[in-house]
Amino acid sequence: MKDFKKYSLNIRGHLVDIDKPMVMGIINATPDSFFSGSRVMDEFAIAQRAKTMAQQGADILDIGACSTRPGSEPVTCDEEIKRLDVAVKSIREAIGNDVILSVDTFRSNVAQHCVECLGVDIINDISGGDLDSDMPSVVAKLQVPYIVMHMRGTPATMQQFTNYDEDVAAVVIEELAHKIDSLHQMGINDVIADPGFGFSKTVEQNYRLMECLDAFHSLDVPLLVGVSRKSMIQKALGCTADEALNGTTVLNTIAMMKGAHIVRVHDVKEAVEARTLVYFNRN
């Protein structure tokens, strides 16, 4: 098992050490996310989901209000902000500041609103600034950690861009490295890399990324893995998203054994248990 490479994140002026994998719970304030079990729209349901995840040991909650499933079209910016206003305020009222909050958005004005008006701690951008060229400069100004994911095209078109001239892992690492270097030069100190499982990748390419996950540590930033209930599991096992929890736990376990710093999951309890077992005899 790979030695765990420790990092820290500056969360609103406080250093948070990543000395073992963090579990990021997914809260989708959307009616159309690919896994129906993750959808929560009203204030009570959002608050209850957040409370449950916090009690189960989530370190971070990642809130999305615009589905980015394959083939999806984005909601309007105003609708995304409206949903996030309800979700973030409900979560803060329910659990306070006990859990780090991340917002999953590719729009710079949404990111700015969430940090400045709602007190969100991290911005999680599936496009790494490709869908909104203002995002990097806005994040640099906000000085919050920035999750940069690898994707080509848009959620509606990304599966048309699965042709890679070389080994997919080598290409994704190279493209992320260029992006991370640029972000550092802009003054974004805390960058987190996400290989983008399921985004402009075939099933086989996704498993190649998992096989080569150790190599992503060459990026010298924390590594996030998000495979929860995705089609790479469904297609390999011949199951539905509802039936993909066991496969998710297996892949999260592999990712943690390969040194992943954050696992992004729909099912917090199972991920926390996997982490406990993987790190049971480690200091």
- Model confidence at 21, pLDDT cuts 50, 70, 90, reads very high
- pLDDT digits over 207-247, tens only? 999 999 999 999 999 999 999 999 999 999 999 999 999 99
Catalytic residues: 230, 264
- pLDDT digits over 23-76, tens only? 999 998 876 554 445 556 688 889 999 999 999 999 999 999 887 766 656 788
pLDDT at 155 over 60: yes
The predicted structure's pLDDT at residue 32:
53
> Quick one: 132 exposed, middle or buried, by C-beta within 10 A (0-12, 13-18, 19+)?
middle
Q: Which domains does the chain have, with CATH numbers?
A: 20-278 (3.20.20.20)
- pLDDT digits over 95-149, tens only? 988 899 999 999 999 999 999 999 999 999 999 999 999 999 999 999 999 999 9
- pLDDT digits over 165-219, tens only? 889 999 999 999 999 999 999 999 999 999 999 999 999 999 999 999 999 999 9
Tell me the pTM.
Answer: 0.93
DSSP string over the chain: -PPP--EEEEETTEEEEESS-EEEEEEE-SS--SSGGGB--SHHHHHHHHHHHHHHT-SEEEEESS--STT--PPPHHHHHHHHHHHHHHHHHHHTTSSEEEEE-S-HHHHHHHHHHH---EEEETTTTSS-TTHHHHHHHHT--EEEE---S-TTTGGG----SS-HHHHHHHHHHHHHHHHHHTT---EEEE--TTSS--HHHHHHHHHTGGGGGGG-S-BEE--TT-HHHHHHHT--GGG-HHHHHHHHHHHHHTT-SEEEES-HHHHHHHHHHHTTT--
